Amino acid sequence: MFKAIFTSALLAGILSGVGITLVQHVTTTPLILHAEEFEKAEASDKHFSLVAYTLAHGKEKLGTVKVDVWGPEKGFERFAYTTLANIIFGVGFALLLVASYAMHGDKISGRIGIIWGMAGFAVFTLSPSLGLPPEVPGSMVAELGARQGWWLAAAASMAFGLWLVVFREGFFFILSGIIIIALPHAIGAPHPNEFGGLVPAGLVGQFVATSIVIAAVFWAMLGWLSGTFYQRFTANIET
C-alpha cells in the first residue's frame, strides 16, 4: 500500500508540476516579468540616490551600497527553477491527497480525485487568498511572520471546517464548520499601514485573478491524476 501511495503521488506531482509550469509560462510569468520592470526601475532610482549621497558625504560610505541580489536569469534558467519548484509542491500536495484517499477508505477514481483536489484548492488557495491575495514583485505587504501565521490559520480552519461540514452529520457540526472557516477572516489578515506599490493596479488585479484560476487548474489536475493513479495501483494490489 505504501508503494501505491508513494508512486501515485510521485507521478501525479511530476506531471502536474510540469503541466502547470507550461500554463504559467504563458499566463502569470509574463505578468511577473512586467511587474519586475517597475521594481527594478525603483531600485535603480534608489541606487542612484545612494551613490549620489555617498559621493557627497564621503567615499568611505560608498562600500555600504549593495545592489547585487541573485535571482534566476530570464529564459531557460527561470523556467527550470519554476518547474522544479512546481514539481516539489506537486509531489508534496499529491502525498496529502493520496494519504487522504487511503485514510478515507472509499473507492477513489479520477473524478472523485477532482473533488478532493477542489477541497485542496479551497484549503491552500481560496481561503488564504481572501485575506492575502497572490503578490507581484513590488507589492507593499505586512511583516512576513504575521502573514505566514495568518495564512496557516486560514488554511487550517478551512481544512477542519470542511471536514466538519462534509464528514460529520448534524446541524451543530455544519454550523461549527462554517464558523471555524470564517473565523480567521473575521479576525482579519495582516496588512501594511497603507496600500500601494510600484505596479499599476490593473496589472496587480490581473495577476491575482489569473493566479487563483491557475491554482484551481493545478488542483483539478493533481486530483484527477492522483485519483487515477491511486485507483490503478491499488487495483493491482487487490488483484
What DSSP string runs through 98-123? HHHHHHH-S---HHHHHHHHHHHHII
Contacts of 128 (CB under 8 A, 6+ apart): 150, 151, 154, 155
In a domain, 153, yes or no: no
In a domain, 71, yes or no: yes
Q: Within 10 A of 25 (CB to CB), how many other CB atoms are there?
A: 14
Return d(Cα 159, Cα 219) in angstroms, integer. 15
Indicate the range of 10-19, 54-63, 146-155 predicted with least confidence: 54-63
pTM exceeding 0.75: yes
In a domain, 226, yes or no: yes
Kind plus residue range of the DSSP H or E element containing 79: helix 76-104
Structural domain containing residue 39: 2-141+191-238
Name the domain count of the chain: 1
Indicate the range of 18-22, 65-69, 98-102, 190-194 predicted with least confidence: 65-69
* pLDDT computed for residue 53 by the predictor: 40
Virtual torsion, Cα 132, 207, 200, 44, nearest 10 deg: 90
In a domain, 176, yes or no: no
In a domain, 184, yes or no: no
* pLDDT computed for residue 72 by the predictor: 66
In a domain, 165, yes or no: no
In a domain, 178, yes or no: no
Across the range 84-98, mean pLDDT stands at 96
In a domain, 214, yes or no: yes
Q: pLDDT confidence of 52, banded at 50, 70, 90?
A: very low
